Structure formats: structure tokens, C-alpha cells
């Protein structure tokens, strides 16, 4: 792949600026560059070139001196993100340094950040599902939050557009609550998953258990290789088999010759031109030299990731917008949402002791939402719903730690796989509450002297009621499927653990109650677009990244069309 043009300072004026290079920023860059716009992508971290900058991608445990263990110095950099349990030596270099980038937890909130080119697209779970009108109509129907300014039909062609390029594997089922994508062949369920699926679908009318729909190639696509089932995704994939900005959208943007990407660029604010009534550019601080530079452009896409995007908007004050860009409504920073995490049940499955599998599948099973559907039974305990992720497999030598045994026979038995285990965990929808919010904290500054965020958000009664039901349902399904040693669990993780932050600059129909319009333009500043998780008006119970991609492609194409009409 060609090197990226990082010489941004030769030219301070572009057609478009994109802030951030993660999932949504990468899509904005690709769509804008392909439409012929000279586009500057501002990235606060370093350049991470596909393959070249994946130092751990092929390492076996014994090829690392600590076999994946972290030094105390490495651990000390991740007091917040480290709570996720996901940071190890093989991916530590893709996680932001919490000490240089502090934030304040007014209530507990784990904020996982990835400050480099590609952002969290290098680390994400790759579960990719379309949302449906069950989601887009939810606020209007039950009165929580404000109405989405779009419906499924507005987004459907854009889902198809991004899916054809990103590559989504899955099985078409025609479920109204989980519309089918443009699919590559699905991954396979293993013996035990097939068994549990049959039992659940037989015993519970209206429930389905499917293989996860994922942004992993199961066939080669546009020069990218298919998944090799190594399950080392979070180190970067040498085959480009999973969707990341680094492997997919940024190389496409680069191929147009219209892309410049500037690393080490910490965006301080979007610059608002009071005369023209629109944004004129973006002010950055060079992370290495602390030099301040202003870049100019006709349009600005803010895709810094949900909370960082809102942080930038809050910090972008002017006479017109004294409380932050686009904050006429007072809703900027509010209505923060996430999905619940680690609530469900697990157990063992007997009868498949002579069966095994091959490959480390970076995917599991999915049970789509079945409660409070349009035509189904309605709960009187909660609104909205939940879906489940999970999977089955055989335990390995790690199970030996708990066995009351030792010695030669014990050691040799551990060479063979242990019992089959199966688990499911619920992901519950979170309602948009005005009081779940972030705001600028000028008492705590980051390494570059910029105000940081305070996060003040918590689950409320509806989310807790959804979780209770998800846990009970999980246990009931596993019982009816014949599992043994069933254990239900609810870790009651704080918000942030879902790593699905959404809201804080929501789309809406009314500028008095929302920050963005139906094409993701900032109310009152039409040449600024927000298309990452910040724009979300509700949270669904379904993983959001595919929707960010579709919203971004739709907004970028709208921006190009408006530019051509000279409306921006």
C-alpha cells in the first residue's frame, strides 16, 4: 500500500476536514475523497500503516518474552481502560495512555480509547447488524428522548452501500427486527451451538439463535484476504480480513490522491466564522511540538469518537455559540447511552465428548431481540429490549487450576480438551436520559493543557429491569436446552463497559431539542457534520458500528451534493 501523504503543512486549506480516523472518520474520508474533495484527516495519534505497523500480529506466546504479560509500567498507563480486561502485551500499543488523557468519573464510567490512526477500528468486536424501525420509531412510540429524524428506509440503501465495501458475513433470515445485510457466506456454528440452537428454537416460539453477523471476510474482497481463523484481530490483521480503517477505508481514500492525513493533531476546536455563519476550519495543537495551527475547509466532519467529538464541540465556543458549537438546545453533552455488559448465564453440555472443532473463530452466536416486538407480547416491567451474544467451546488446560488434582496423570489429562461449555450474555438497550451527561472540566487539564471531560451517567430502573429479565431468560433457555451446572450472572458493570458510547450530540427533528438534523448537520452551522456515536438519538440493543458507517456515508454524500449546489 502506498504511503500516506502526511505533509499537511504545505497547504493549510482543504475542501474537507475529517476529525478522527476510526470507523466513521475512515468512511467520511473515503466518501469525500472519492467524490473529488481534497480531504485532510486529523488524527491525534500516530500513523498505523496496515500490516507494517502490526508488530505483534503473528507472535506465538513463547515468542514474547513475557508471553503476553504486561510490565507494571505498561499497566500503570491504563488505570481506566485496563478495567476492560482486554489490554495485554499483544495490543497494549493500540490503547490510549490514560495518564496523558485524564477524565473524571463523577459516577463510575469506563472509557476505552485508542489514539492512533484507525482508532478503535483496530480493536472493535466486529459484530455488525442493521437497525430496524423497531429502533428508529422507539422514541416516538414510548416518549423517551426525541424522535429520530430518519427511518429505516432512509438508511437501508446506505447500509447496502457500506456492506458491499466493508464485507459482512452472515445468514439472511428475513427477521423484521434485525434486517438482513448484503451478506458474504456465514461462519459456521459448532456441534454444541447447533444443538443448543435446535433446542431453543423448538422450545421458544419467536426466538432465533444465529451465527453472529460480522465484519470479517469469509471470501476475498477487493484485494483483501479472507479470515484465516487465527483470532488475533486486536493485533491488526495481516490479511485485512476484518474491517478497519487501516485496511479498508483509508487505503481507498488514499488511492484517490485526494487524502492528506496529519498525525499528532489534537483538535482544540472547530473555528466558527461569525460573519459567514458557518465553520471556517479547525484549530489543532501539534501533540509533539505543542504548536497551534488552523486548517481551513468548506466542510468539517467531526468523527473523534462519541465523547471526544462532544468534547470538541463543547470546547468550540464563539459569540454565536457561547455554550459550544450547535448547543442552542442545551442538549450537547446530554443523553449519553451505552449497552449493558456481562449479564447472562453459562453451563456445560454433555454428549459431544468425541467431537471437536478446528480454527479460532472470531465470532459467536447471536439471539436477536424477541421482547416487546411490534406484534409480540409486551412486557409490563420495561420498555425496549435486549439481544444475546455468546458461544460454545471446549475448555482447555486452564481448567486444571480448579481441579483438585496434581501430578503426572493430571498433567497428561490436561493435554486433552475438557467439557463443552456454552454461555450467553444480554445486551440491553439504554434509554436517553438528559441527566446522563458529560461536561468540560477546566480544573483537570490534559498533557496539552486542554480541558477534559467529566462523565456523570448511570443505569436507571429500565436498564436494570431489562437486565433482570435477560439474566432470567438466559438461565431458562439454557435449562430448557439441557445444559448442566448452569450459573446465572450479572456483573452490574458501570456504564462504558459495553464500549458502545452513544448520544451527547443527538440527531432530531427540532433544533430546540437536538444538536444535529436528519443529515447529521449541526443545527445553526450546516457545514459541520457529526456522524460517529455522538449523533445517536436512541441506543437500540443492537451493536451500533454498522449504523455509524451507513450514517456517515449518507451524510458525506449529502455534503457533496450540497457543496455542488453551493448550499454550504
Partner 1 sequence: MNRRDALKKSALALGAAAGAPTLLSLLQACAKTDRLTWTPVFLSEDQASFISSFVDFLLPKTETPGGLDVKTDVFIDLMYAKTYDEAGQNQVVADIEKFNADCKAKFGNVFAELSPEDKAACFKEHEANSPKFPKTVWGGAVGPREPVGFYRSLKSTALWAYFSSEEIGKNLLSYDPIPGEYRGCMPLSEVGNTWSL
Query: Residue 144 has which C-alpha cell?
Result: 423517551
CB of 381 to partner 1, least distance (A): 23
- By beta-carbon proximity to partner 1, the closer residue of 78 and 298 is 78
Find the binding residues for partner 1 in span 190-249 (CB under 8 A): 190-191, 193-194, 228-230
What distance in Å separates the CA atoms of residue 544 and residue 532, rounded to the nearest whole number? 10
Provide the 3-class DSSP secondary structure of residue 25: helix
End-to-end Cα spacing for the chain: 34
- By beta-carbon proximity to partner 1, the closer residue of 86 and 204 is 86
Interacting residues of 476 by C-beta distance below 8 A, sequence separation 6+ = none
Provide the 3-class DSSP secondary structure of residue 525: strand
- By beta-carbon proximity to partner 1, the closer residue of 61 and 257 is 61
* Span from 183-191, 270-278, 452-460, 519-527 in contact with partner 1 (CB under 8 A): 183-191
- By beta-carbon proximity to partner 1, the closer residue of 377 and 398 is 398
Provide the 3-class DSSP secondary structure of residue 231: coil
**Closest-CA residue to 15 (of 244, 252, 256):** 256
Among 360, 374, 460, 564, interactor with partner 1 by CB under 8 A: 360
CA distances from 67 to 54, 88, 386 (A): 17, 10, 37
CB of 161 to partner 1, least distance (A): 28
Find the binding residues for partner 1 in span 412-451 (CB under 8 A): 412, 414-417, 423, 425
**Closest-CA residue to 503 (of 314, 333, 324, 303):** 333
Question: What beta strand segments (E) does 457-538 contain?
Answer: 484-490, 521-522, 525-530
CB of 409 to partner 1, least distance (A): 8
- By beta-carbon proximity to partner 1, the closer residue of 365 and 505 is 365
Query: Are residues 505 and 536 in contact, defined by beta-carbon separation less than 8 angstroms?
Result: no
What distance in Å separates the CA atoms of residue 310 and residue 118, rounded to the nearest whole number? 19
401 binds partner 1 (CB under 8 A): yes
The mark string for 328-357 relative to partner 1 (x by CB under 8 A, - otherwise) is: --------------x-x-x------xxxxx
Among 5, 57, 86, 137, interactor with partner 1 by CB under 8 A: 86
373 binds partner 1 (CB under 8 A): no
Kindly report the backbone phi and psi dihedral angles of residue 554, in degrees, each rounded to the nearest multiple of 5, phi listed first: -65, -45
- By beta-carbon proximity to partner 1, the closer residue of 20 and 393 is 393
- By beta-carbon proximity to partner 1, the closer residue of 65 and 443 is 65
406 binds partner 1 (CB under 8 A): yes
What distance in Å separates the CA atoms of residue 385 and residue 417, rounded to the nearest whole number? 36
394 binds partner 1 (CB under 8 A): yes
- By beta-carbon proximity to partner 1, the closer residue of 424 and 505 is 424
What distance in Å separates the CA atoms of residue 545 and residue 436, rounded to the nearest whole number? 21
What distance in Å separates the CA atoms of residue 516 and residue 536, rounded to the nearest whole number? 10
Number of residues that bind partner 1 (CB under 8 A): 62
77 binds partner 1 (CB under 8 A): no
- By beta-carbon proximity to partner 1, the closer residue of 376 and 417 is 417
Question: What DSSP designation does 133 have?
Answer: H
CB of 193 to partner 1, least distance (A): 7
Q: What's the number of CA atoms in the CB half-sphere (13 Å) around residue 299?
A: 31
Query: Residue 500 has which C-alpha cell?
Result: 458502545
CB of 299 to partner 1, least distance (A): 39
What distance in Å separates the CA atoms of residue 305 and residue 488, rounded to the nearest whole number? 33
183 binds partner 1 (CB under 8 A): no
472 binds partner 1 (CB under 8 A): no
Chain positions contacting partner 1, by CB under 8 A: 58, 60-62, 65-67, 69-72, 75, 84-86, 187-191, 193-194, 228-230, 342, 344, 346, 353-361, 394, 396-398, 400-402, 404-412, 414-417, 423, 425, 487, 489, 491
Amino acid at each position: 500500500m502506498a504511503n500516506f501523504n502526511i505533509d499537511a503543512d504545505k497547504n493549510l486549506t482543504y475542501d474537507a476536514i475529517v476529525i478522527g480516523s476510526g470507523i466513521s472518520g475512515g468512511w467520511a474520508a473515503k466518501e469525500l475523497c472519492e467524490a473529488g474533495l481534497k480531504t485532510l484527516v486529523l488524527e491525534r495519534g500516530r500513523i498505523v500503516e496496515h500490516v507494517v505497523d502490526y508488530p505483534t500480529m503473528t507472535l506465538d506466546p513463547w515468542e514474547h518474552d513475557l508471553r503476553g504479560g504486561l510490565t507494571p509500567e505498561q499497566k500503570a498507563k491504563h488505570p481506566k481502560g485496563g478495567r476492560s480486561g482486554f489490554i495485554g502485551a499483544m495490543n497494549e500499543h493500540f490503547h490510549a495512555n490514560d495518564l496523558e488523557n485524564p477524565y473524571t468519573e463523577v459516577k463510575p464510567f469506563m472509557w476505552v480509547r485508542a489514539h492512533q490512526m484507525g482508532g478503535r477500528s483496530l480493536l472493535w468486536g466486529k459484530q455488525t447488524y442493521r437497525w430496524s424501525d423497531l429502533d428508529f420509531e422507539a422514541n416516538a412510540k414510548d416518549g423517551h428522548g426525541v424522535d429520530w429524524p430518519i427511518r429505516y428506509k432512509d438508511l437501508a440503501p446506505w447500509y447496502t452501500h457500506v456492506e458491499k465495501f466493508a464485507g459482512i458475513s452472515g445468514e439472511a433470515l428475513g427477521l423484521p427486527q434485525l434486517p438482513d445485510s448484503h451478506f458474504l457466506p456465514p461462519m459456521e456454528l459448532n456441534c454444541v451451538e447447533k444443538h443448543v440452537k435446535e433446542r431453543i428454537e423448538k422450545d421458544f416460539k419467536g426466538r432465533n439463535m444465529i451465527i453472529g453477523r460480522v465484519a470479517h471476510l469469509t471470501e476475498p474482497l477487493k484485494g483483501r484476504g479472507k479470515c484465516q481463523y487465527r483470532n488475533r484481530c486486536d493485533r491488526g490483521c495481516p490479511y485485512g480480513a476484518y474491517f478497519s480503517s487501516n485496511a479498508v477505508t483509508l487505503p481507498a481514500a488514499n488511492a484517490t490522491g485526494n487524502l492528506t492525513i496529519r498525525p499528532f493533531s489534537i483538535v482544540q476546536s472547530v473555528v466558527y466564522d461569525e460573519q459567514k455563519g458557518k465553520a471556517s476550519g479547525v484549530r489543532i495543537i501539534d501533540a509533539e511540538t505543542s504548536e497551534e495551527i488552523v486548517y481551513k475547509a468548506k466542510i468539517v466532519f467531526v468523527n473523534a469518537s462519541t465523547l471526544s467529538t462532544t468534547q470538541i464541540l463543547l470546547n468550540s465556543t464563539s459569540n454565536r455559540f457561547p455554550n459550544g458549537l450547535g448547543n442552542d438546545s442545551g442538549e450537547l453533552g446530554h443523553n449519553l447511552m451505552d449497552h449493558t455488559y456481562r449479564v447472562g448465564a453459562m453451563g456445560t453440555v454433555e454428549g459431544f465428548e468425541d467431537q471437536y472443532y478446528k480454527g479460532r473463530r472470531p465470532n459467536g452466536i447471536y439471539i436477536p431481540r424477541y421482547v416487546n416486538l411490534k406484534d409480540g407480547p409486551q412486557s409490563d416491567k420495561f420498555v425496549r429490549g435486549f439481544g444475546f451474544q455468546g458461544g460454545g467451546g471446549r475448555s482447555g488446560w486452564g481448567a486444571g487450576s480448579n481441579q483438585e488434582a496434581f501430578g503426572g496423570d493430571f498433567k497428561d489429562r490436561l493435554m486433552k480438551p475438557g467439557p463443552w461449555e456454552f454461555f450467553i450474555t444480554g445486551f440491553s438497550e439504554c434509554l436517553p436520559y438528559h441527566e446522563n451527561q458529560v461536561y468540560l472540566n477546566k480544573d483537570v487539564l490534559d498533557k496539552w493543557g486542554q480541558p477534559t471531560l467529566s462523565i456523570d451517567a448511570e443505569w436507571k430502573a429500565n436498564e436494570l429491569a431489562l437486565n433482570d429479565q435477560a439474566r432470567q431468560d438466559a438461565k431458562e433457555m439454557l435449562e430448557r436446552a439441557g445444559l448442566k451446572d448452569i450459573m446465572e450472572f450479572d456483573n452490574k458493570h458501570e456504564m462504558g463497559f459495553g464500549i458502545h458510547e452513544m448520544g451527547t450530540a443527538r440527531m432530531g427533528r427540532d433544533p430546540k431539542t437536538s444538536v444535529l438534523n436528519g443529515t447529521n448537520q449541526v443545527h445553526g452551522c450546516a457545514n459541520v457534520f457529526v456522524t460517529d456515536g455522538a449523533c445517536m438519538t436512541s441506543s437500540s440493543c443492537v451493536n451500533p458500528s454498522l449504523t455509524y458507517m451507513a450514517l456517515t456515508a449518507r451524510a458525506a454524500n449529502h455534503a457533496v451534493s450540497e457543496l455542488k449546489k453551493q448550499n454550504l
